[in-house]
Amino acid sequence: MKARTFSFRRVTSVEEALAAFASCEGEARFLAGGQSLLPALNLRLDAPDLLIDISRVEGMRGVSVSSSGLRIGALTRHVEVLRSPLVAEHASLLSRAAPFVAHPAIRNLGTIGGSLALADPAAEFPTCILALNASLEIAGANGIRTVRADDYFRALYETDIGPGELLTAILIPPPSHGQRVHFDELARRRGDYAIVGLAVNAVIHDSNVKEIRLAFSSVGPIPTRAKTAEAQLIGTFLGAEGIASAQAALANDLSPDGTDEVSSETRMHLARVLLGRSLNALLREDK
Amino acid sequence: MSEQVSITVKVNGSIVRRMVEPRLTLLDFLRRDLGLTGTHAGCEMGACGACLVSLEGRAVHSCLMLAVQADDLSVETIEGLSENGSIADLQAAFFERNALQCGYCTPGVLITARDCLSTGGVPSRDEIRDALSGNYCRCTGYEAIVDAIEVVARMRAANAEGSK
Amino acid sequence: MTAISDSPFRAANQYIGKSLPRPGAKRLLAGRGRYTDDIVVPRMLYAAFWRSPFAHARLGAISIEAAAAMPGVHRVFIGADFAAICKPWVGTLSHFAGMKSAPQLPLATEKVLWAGHPIAMVIAETRAQAEDALEAIEVELDELEPVVDIDAAQLPDSTLVYEEAGSNVIFRTRIESGSTASAFEDAEVVEAEFRFGRHTAVTMELRSILADYDPSDGRLTVHQSTQTPYQFHDIYARHFGLSEAHVRVVAPDVGGSFGMKLHLYHEDMAVVGASILTGRPVKFTADRMESFLTDIHARDHRVRARLAISADGMFRGIEVDDVTGVGPFSAYPRTSVVEGNQVVRLIGAAYRLKDYRADLTVVAQNKTQMSQYRAVGHPIACAVTERLVDLAGARVGLDPFEIRRRNYVTQDMYPHKTPSGYSFERLSLEECLDKLHEAMDYEALRKDQARLREAGIHRGIGIATYVEITNPSPAFYGVGGAHISAQDGCVLKVTSSGGIQCLISLSELGQGAEAIVGQIVAEGVGINPNLVRVITGDTDMTPVGGATWACRGAGIGGETALQASKKLKGRILEIAGAILQCSPGKLDISDGQILDQGGNIRMSLGELANLAYFRSDLLPKGIQPELTVAHHYAPSGYPFAFTNGIHGSLVEVDVETGFVKILKHWVIEDCGRILNPLLVDEQIRGGVVQGLGAAFFEECLYSKSGQLLNGSMADYLVPMACEMPDIVIGHVETPTQDTELGAKGCGEAGTAAASGAALNAVNDALSPFKASITQLPMTPERILKALRVV
């Protein structure tokens, strides 16, 4: 398991990164934390001609807050998301999800931007940014643009990031009054990719659901919102009945593929269980 | 064939300068180029933890990092941590408790243990197990490892208390 | 921390039975271990293999020219290159009558037999360059129908894995004792069909071999991560036509083995062959993907079994049908039928039974070869038996403890012969059962369980008895013609300052063989263990012997060391007596000092050695300065020293998700005389966790076309720290009378019954739902299916 040969270039600015990509005659990849790219290289599943090391690009790392919300630099490492007081205050869903991301040593190098750019449908952060209604800041030849998380995930491992573009930051709107968040997943072992995971972001007043976004992992090619279930819940009193009807509504939202270990039916069942448990947890917190 | 790249890495406190192929992992660089064979290859995909080293004071998989990425950074391996005595108490506790058998996972486990205890305090057994969630051990069944780490945590806490 | 109990056999100033840490462990803790892949020799080249992507195919043209021209590439070999210098190996033994297996060569020559079968080999300056060259190799493969399913493989029109055999059934046997027909007549019958997933060892250190053939003097030196250096010494010499005197096999530190590293692999032979053909040292270390595709797999059994009982819960008879798929050929040199053989012989072994019948069918298939891995057959026999026992208990309304107590072989029955032909010197079944009951606080657990069920929390309690085969005599392999030694040899040398060098044929795999041998020699001679240096794993240094497998190290190797040390002590005292002019029988050695009967120090062992080696002129006439002894020991009493014990498991099943939390595990074991409780306890714990892996996680999944689907550490789930419980261990000691040492093995005890206990525990948790599961691993989906939730 040794990677094919490639050239390597370290860049220190976004402009330099984009220029390096544009000038590469073959295939180029941006290298951030490398925690998903390196296995792919070692396994020769991916074999680019050029790796552009962006890990030391100025200004792409760290967390800041403004009136428009939280800004997390794409190079912010999982461990930094996990420990950031700003994230805990302004986007606690991410703080809750971070411990589920792989293992400590992976979290020490892996970056949130890397996770979102790869867009593994089993990963935790993609569901979180979907649930948080976050936006993604993407730099390209024509400057910086932002895309809403709802429009960002396109297909399996495919996002709105075009060739030669670079994800630079994640923008999370400020929490609303009454916001309740929850993250949970069902994984065979601690740190494994989940059979199913769920990020919930809701606004609840006196057990009345004002807003809710439900984003599942591992139920399809991309992190998936359960919009029918959301619609069932919005405007209702959060209780056993509402939860049951949201669980039933998942049939309209999800159609997970079966694998050799987990059939489609089992995954669907587990998604319903997880939804029920997560909503009940919100309910408990609300009381 | 891609061009070789010059790198300067601080390894176990000493500056090392080498020409490397970009595709060379930090793991293979340490083992093959520097003869630091205490860092072990287990899966080369970041699953097993046998290759953990300390990069700028934090445990990372040396199989999931290129040697060129370590340019200008500081790496500590089991050899360095053994020689500078910083994990001597952990090593002694592992020895007494027989918290290793074949020893192949052990350097990685020790690096995790070091990180786990770096924040001070006495973690619960569940917290220790959680910290070890990325370290495969096929011999011990983990309990002795958890015991040894717990003993050191208590010892350090008692020493910290005593020195106040 | 768990308290470690010392052996009651321990006396003052003795080392056997003490919880001493392993001397070699400090080196490993400092990162100073030396595993095979760590070894670099001048002019060394690296190997990589081009492997079949298909499970079954006819091999056509192989194009290697482009690869041979790649940077750094030294040679590219194909099957014919090695066929010219290597005698094929065939994994059959004569005591398994009628078995068949396809002859094997290092690289495929006509057919490929599994996805992963090596076809070509690149030798290059670096492993990366060798892998680069693999991409330039082209191979024509004409895909054949793969044989995958064990039932389809037996159909008359099935494609054959090995045409010359005329069938995919490579071995069949029936064991019959008494009449099960009459036992089942008018009896209550409980029955089940069990499935045991294929799994694999996943040693942390990957398989690694470095062969260095020196054409100038025809010497072959092989460093190899193996349990059995002498076995490979024999194989390389015989199959490459080398003189044994010119072959050396060294096992450096071994990073886990568990039975996986004593089988011959195609890559081993290719590496030796490549070194012979190039005259250069060649190293191959499997990467993890290769390891999943080529390390032996194990288990993969379907067992249909039924137990006849009388109304009062007494067992009347058992019938078993075991079918196992073992891959495309039988492993060499131990065969792939031993696991099945042990399954059908161990089922029901702990119980009073006369009427027994078992059928074993061993089937070839286009999957990775399967053979012995830790606790060979035991977990299957245990899970089948113990599940049936619980079902019987439920049928007649007896608690799991009570039905076992009623049916165990009892103390007045020893020596006891099982209907399958095993002879037990003495077991401690009832004592272990009682101890477990107490250790678990069983009544309190049952009360908790009932209370929690009211609250919708479903805990399960399971127990499982095991009987374990240890200390095998030549009846195991030797009688079948295998060059596998059942004896061990030990050479002891007094060094000039009074220390002892011990060269022994055991191998050290991390379980502490060197530590216990050091303790035995220290006690046997009468010196401090720190002055005993134990050397293992090098055929140029150690005597010929069986090494470490099948739980034989402590029992056989330990006895060898004990007798050698007594011999050496006798020799020392003989010389001392001559020097001191007194009868050797009136002298003794303690802490390296030679004492008289009054306990007075007369001289030190160092002084004696100094005289012997440097001032032999001062020795009395006729006394030779011979302070080296050799001793060999082979078991000659019972063919096996059987051990026993019992496990308890407490689990909590989430009946909505099918997830199981393993809350606690108990083991009461009897491995005879305990040499080092610290090491025994950790052997047991490690074994339990491998058994829990089988119970809940580990399974090699194959597609219908014979492709391994989860061959990576991310996909094949081994148990990790977070999912594993703390494990309580207790001991009963029934030393074997066959040896002076009295030790039996303990290496399989943890694995043997952990999955069976867990199976019973999960079923106990599911019982309120009238649900049952009989397939391992018990995955969430299988549990949900058992619960009829999905």
Structural domains present in chain C: 25-33+487-633 (3.30.365.10), 36-144+202-294 (3.90.1170.50), 297-474+637-786 (3.30.365.10)
Instruction: Using alpha carbons, select from C9, C10, C18 the residue that is nearest to residue C734.
Output: C9
d(CA C421, CA C402): 26
- Three state DSSP letters for C165-231: HCCCEEEEEEEEECCHHHHHCCCEEEEEEEEEEEEECCCCCCCEEEEEEECCCCEEEEEECCCCHHH
Under a CB-based contact definition with an 8 Å cutoff, are residues A266 and A190 in contact? no
Q: Is C688 exposed, middle or buried (0-12, 13-18, 19+ CB in 10 A)?
A: buried
DSSP bridge pairs for C209? C224, C284
C3 vs B: CB within 8 A:
no
- Written as six digits, the tokens of A147 are 């895309």
pLDDT in tens, B95-131: 999 999 999 999 999 999 999 999 889 999 999 999 9
The region that residue C526 occupies, defined by phi over 0 for left and psi between -120 and 50 for alpha, beta otherwise, is: left
A188 vs C: CB within 8 A:
yes
Under a CB-based contact definition with an 8 Å cutoff, are residues C235 and C264 in contact? yes
Q: Which of residues 11-40 of B touch C (CB under 8 A)?
A: 21, 23-24, 31-32, 35-40
B22/A10 touch (CB, cutoff 8 Å), yes or no: no
Helices then strands, counting H and E runs in chain C, come out as: 19, 29
C737 vs B: CB within 8 A:
no
| pLDDT surpassing 60 at residue C2 | no
Q: Output the CA torsion sign for C736, C737, C738, C741.
A: positive
Under a CB-based contact definition with an 8 Å cutoff, are residues A161 and A142 in contact? no
Burial C36-64 (b: 16+ CB within 10 A, else e): bbbbeeeeebbbbbbbbebbbbebeebeb
Residues 6+ apart with CB under 8 A from C516: C553, C554, C558, C675, C676, C679
DSSP bridge pairs for C355? C317
Instruction: Using alpha carbons, select from C530, C480, C459, C477 the residue that is nearest to residue C500.
Output: C530
| pLDDT surpassing 70 at residue C7 | no
Find chain C residues with C-beta within 8 A of B154's C-beta: none
Give the count of beta carbons closer than 10 Å to the beta carbon of residue C134: 20
When pLDDT is averaged across residues C81-108 and rounded to a whole number, the result is 97
C548 vs B: CB within 8 A:
no
B97 vs A: CB within 8 A:
no
pLDDT of residue C12: 42
d(CA C477, CA C298): 19
Chain B residue closest to C285 (CA)? B41
pLDDT in tens, A36-48: 999 999 999 999 9
Q: Before C229, cis peptide (omega within 30)?
A: no
Find chain A residues with C-beta within 8 A of B45's C-beta: 1, 38-39, 42-43
Instruction: Using alpha carbons, select from C438, C431, C460 the residue that is nearest to residue C350.
Output: C431
Identify the architecture of domain B87-162 in CATH: Orthogonal Bundle (1.10)
Under a CB-based contact definition with an 8 Å cutoff, are residues C433 and C730 in contact? no
Q: Is C526 exposed, middle or buried (0-12, 13-18, 19+ CB in 10 A)?
A: buried
The structural domains of chain B, with segments of one domain joined by +, span 5-82, 87-162
When pLDDT is averaged across residues C613-630 and rounded to a whole number, the result is 95
pLDDT in tens, C9-29: 334 469 999 999 999 999 999
DSSP bridge pairs for A111? A77
pLDDT in tens, C167-204: 999 999 999 999 999 999 999 999 999 999 999 999 99
| Distance from chain centroid for Cα A245 | 27
d(CA C595, CA C603): 7
Find chain C residues with C-beta within 8 A of A270's C-beta: 657, 780
pLDDT of residue C13: 66
Q: Is C335 exposed, middle or buried (0-12, 13-18, 19+ CB in 10 A)?
A: buried
- Tokens 């008692």 correspond to B158
A109/B52 touch (CB, cutoff 8 Å), yes or no: no
pLDDT of residue B161: 86
A255 vs C: CB within 8 A:
no
Rounded to a whole number, what is the largest CA-CA distance in chain A? 60
d(CA A47, CA C54): 24
Find chain A residues with C-beta within 8 A of B59's C-beta: 104-105, 108
pLDDT of residue C520: 97
pLDDT band at B55 (very low <50, low <70, confident <90, very high): very high
Under a CB-based contact definition with an 8 Å cutoff, are residues C299 and C339 in contact? yes
Q: Where are the beta strands (DSSP E) in C573-634?
A: 588-590, 593-595, 601-604, 628-633
Instruction: Using alpha carbons, select from C308, C430, C314, C301 the residue that is nearest to residue C378.
Output: C301
Kindly compute the dihedral angle of the four CA atoms of residues C392, C393, C395, C397, in this order, to the nearest 10 degrees: 160
CA R_g for chain A:
19
pLDDT in tens, C21-76: 999 999 999 999 999 999 999 999 999 999 999 999 999 999 999 999 999 999 99
| pLDDT surpassing 50 at residue C243 | yes
CA distance B115 to chain A (A): 9
pLDDT in tens, C671-711: 999 999 999 999 999 999 999 999 999 999 999 999 999 99
Find chain A residues with C-beta within 8 A of C131's C-beta: 1-2, 44
Helix (H/G/I), strand (E/B), else coil: C466: strand
Helix (H/G/I), strand (E/B), else coil: C749: helix
d(CA C711, CA C293): 7
Q: Where are the beta strands (DSSP E) in B63-152?
A: 74-76
Q: Report whether CATH 3.30.470.20 matches the domain B5-82.
A: no
d(CA C245, CA C268): 20
If you average pLDDT over every residue of chain A, what do you get? 96
Q: Which of residues 83-142 of A touch C (CB under 8 A)?
A: none
Find chain B residues with C-beta within 8 A of C697's C-beta: none
- Written as six digits, the tokens of C752 are 């043997």
Helix (H/G/I), strand (E/B), else coil: A215: strand
d(CA A183, CA C679): 42
Nearest by CB to A273, which of C657, C779, C781? C657
d(CA C59, CA C52): 9
Give the count of beta carbons closer than 10 Å to the beta carbon of residue C770: 9
Burial C637-669 (b: 16+ CB within 10 A, else e): ebbbbbbbbbbbbbbbbbbbbbbbebbebbbbb
- Name residue C612's amino acid: A
Find chain C residues with C-beta within 8 A of B97's C-beta: 1
When pLDDT is averaged across residues C369-380 and rounded to a whole number, the result is 97
pLDDT of residue A283: 87
pLDDT band at A287 (very low <50, low <70, confident <90, very high): low
If you average pLDDT over every residue of chain C, what do you get? 96
Q: Before A175, cis peptide (omega within 30)?
A: no
Rounded (5°) CA angle C751-C752-C756:
100
Sheet architecture: strand order including C111-112 = C111-112, C57-63, C138-143
Report phi then psi at A203, rounded to 5. Answer: -115, 120
Under a CB-based contact definition with an 8 Å cutoff, are residues C185 and C215 in contact? no
Nearest by CB to B102, which of C38, C204, C689? C204
What interhelical angle do B143-162 and B106-117 show, nearest 10? 40
d(CA C471, CA C477): 12
d(CA A89, CA C312): 66
d(CA C756, CA C381): 9
Kindly state the DSSP code that residue B39 receives in the 8-state scheme: S
pLDDT in tens, C119-168: 999 999 999 999 999 999 999 999 999 999 999 999 999 999 999 999 99
Residues 6+ apart with CB under 8 A from C355: C177, C178, C179, C180, C182, C183, C308, C316, C317, C318, C419
Chain C residue closest to A265 (CA)? C790
- Tokens 């057959």 correspond to C377
Report phi then psi at C356, rounded to 5. Answer: -145, 140
Structural domains present in chain A: 7-53 (3.30.43.10), 63-172 (3.30.465.10), 180-286 (3.30.390.50)
Nearest by CB to A266, which of C703, C710, C790? C790
pLDDT band at A261 (very low <50, low <70, confident <90, very high): confident
CA neighbours within 13 Å on the CB side: how many for C134?
24
Chains touching C, CB cut-off 8 Å, 3+ pairs: A, B
| pLDDT surpassing 80 at residue C101 | yes
pLDDT in tens, A121-180: 999 999 999 999 999 999 999 999 999 999 999 999 999 999 999 999 999 999 999 999
pLDDT in tens, C568-604: 999 999 999 999 999 999 999 999 999 999 999 999 9
Give the count of beta carbons closer than 10 Å to the beta carbon of residue A83: 13
pLDDT band at C769 (very low <50, low <70, confident <90, very high): very high
Q: Is C788 exposed, middle or buried (0-12, 13-18, 19+ CB in 10 A)?
A: exposed
A189 vs C: CB within 8 A:
yes
Q: Output the CA torsion sign for A153, A155, A161, A162.
A: negative
